[in-house]
Chain A
């Protein structure tokens, strides 16, 4: 019996350890692969050309700025829409709505998160784009803003679900304490519950942004894919081309091993770095807060 337990213990431990290490290994392998396919760009394309303003790969114009700008403006737009709406929804579900309403609302929001992005893109192209064009009086409805709206719609379920869990995990005694001190319900939420759940809420926001940066199909269908540099705020209401849509649209066609192929992987590296920086910032912020909290407690 003890012999049996010992062996199952050993095997399980090896399996779990293997699974843990393998995820690190896979990320490393992906990174190595990206580097191997993307870095030859630096020898094939003069670095100045990568910072030009024109993306037209079939004639060897490899300016990445329009694509980076496109991704940034769509993602920022989505963040500015998704964060207030998502947080408000999470606070409503966790703090204000009665328990039975929460049991109904939360699964619904999560089902919303499971909608395939191509379906959303199709709806966006046929329904949302015409509405955007008519109401905002833009030349076309296929704009960065349309993409931001849809991406916000996709990020909100993730954001709400994670943020709500974090708010729900705040001990009831915190709220009771605040209310006992005479705080109103709103003061309790804003000054006590939300700060207490801050790291979870921040994680929720980062997961939402992560979803928005990496999303491909929807933005490819609704942002118009015109590779122009978004130079002013006005560009939010003009077509843009994102990095993800560029990779998706062009990778199928490109000749293996050509400069264009390497540049597409270079875009992948840039995307990887942006996602890395976002994650790093998020964990640094959470970490610093935890340290401060520990100082206060000790």
Chain B
């Protein structure tokens, strides 16, 4: 100690008499603070669940976490978005307990999990319809899947060609890391055919967030976009979709998704590391209960039972 003090930096010499006391005071304060926080976090009843993944599910997951937290204050659930792939990657590297995904796990992700000694278990926790949305001033109100495919692959570029005004079509899509993007590519652009290699037109605007799509749809009468039904607000116009030309045009709603008449709908998943146990199991059981599924309907998604 002594030799160190001898070599203090000359400029620092003056305040040296006050600083140690101040430092000691702060240290005491910190010790007191640390002591209290550590004693609460060690409490045996407290448990934390890391829930991460799909941006489509993030609002629903937050609502669930809030409702569950109110009933079970001893469980702390933190919810993060970032995309289905992000959630699954976190599940595999151990930073998440539950991964939210708007698509089933890919084969390579399954393999990666097994390489890390993890056996992911899948739960279908809700259903989602992808709504095709336009600006309220757009007169077009119905499209078929082949028309949507032709528009998004860049073969149709003017609203006039699908019964609208003479305006260019501005294509909006989620980023390629979004499960919604992949689902739309496979089931709308490629019409569900695995040998179809159609790609999004290079003119497609890839928006980093749902908010980016909503903002552009609200103010641009040229825009055409898609997003989860849960993100559609009343200031956008939803398009009725038919599977084939001449087929019935159906608007997305809870009834039309459950009776499978709306053509662009999918299951939403949660994945756990191995069979869930303890607080994670209790949480997942609660999610599949009627009380939690009621929240699903309130947020514009479709309950599983």
Residues of A within 8 A of B (CB): 4-5, 7-8, 11-12, 53-59, 61, 66, 125-126, 129-130, 133, 139-142, 220-221, 224-228, 238-239, 241, 245, 248-250, 252-256
* 6 A/B residue pairs, CB under 8 Å, sorted by A: A7-B7, A56-B200, A58-B182, A126-B215, A226-B205, A249-B208
Does A239 contact B203, Cβ atoms closer than 8 Å? Answer: yes
Please, which residues of chain B bring their CB within 8 A of the CB of A126?
215
Q: A239-B203, A253-B83 are in contact. Are A220 and B216 (CB under 8 A)?
A: no
Q: A56-B199, A228-B202 are in contact. Are A253 and B223 (CB under 8 A)?
A: no
Please, which residues of chain B bring their CB within 8 A of the CB of A250?
175-177
Sample of 17 further A-B pairs with CB below 8 A, known A129-B216, A225-B207, A253-B82 = A4-B6, A4-B7, A11-B7, A55-B202, A130-B219, A133-B219, A221-B208, A224-B206, A226-B206, A228-B203, A238-B203, A250-B176, A252-B83, A253-B83, A254-B85, A255-B89, A255-B108
A227 to B197, CA, bound (A): 18
Task: Mark out the residues of chain B between 166 and 180 whose CB falls within 8 Å of any chain A CB in the assembled complex.
Answer: 167-168, 170, 175-177
Q: A4-B7, A12-B9, A250-B175 are in contact. Are A239 and B205 (CB under 8 A)?
A: yes
Q: Which of A53, A54, A61, A249 contacts B175 (CB 8 A)?
A: A249
Does A253 contact B208, Cβ atoms closer than 8 Å? Answer: no
Please, which residues of chain B bring their CB within 8 A of the CB of A66?
202
Q: Which residue of B lies closest to A12 (CB)?
A: B9
* Interface residues contributed by chain B, number (CB under 8 Å): 37
Q: Which residue of B lies closest to A63 (CB)?
A: B202
Best-surrounded residue of A57, A252, A256 (most CB of chain B within 10 A)? A252
Please, which residues of chain A bring their CB within 8 A of the CB of B9?
8, 12
Best-surrounded residue of B83, B182, B207 (most CB of chain A within 10 A)? B207
A252 to B55, CA, bound (A): 13
Task: Mark out the residues of chain B between 73 and 98 whose CB falls within 8 Å of any chain A CB in the assembled complex.
Answer: 82-83, 85-86, 89
A139 to B135, CA, bound (A): 13
Please, which residues of chain A bring their CB within 8 A of the CB of B216?
129, 140-142
Q: Which of A5, A11, A12, A140 contacts B223 (CB 8 A)?
A: A140
Please, which residues of chain B bring their CB within 8 A of the CB of A253?
82-83, 85-86, 89, 176-177
Shortest Cβ distance from residue A217 to the other chain B in the assembled complex, whole angstroms:
9
Does B203 contact A226, Cβ atoms closer than 8 Å? Answer: yes
Q: Which residue of A lies closest to B106 (CB)?
A: A255
Best-surrounded residue of A12, A54, A125 (most CB of chain B within 10 A)? A125
A253 to B101, CA, bound (A): 12
A12 to B9, CA, bound (A): 9
Please, which residues of chain B bring their CB within 8 A of the CB of A142?
205, 216
Does B203 contact A225, Cβ atoms closer than 8 Å? Answer: no
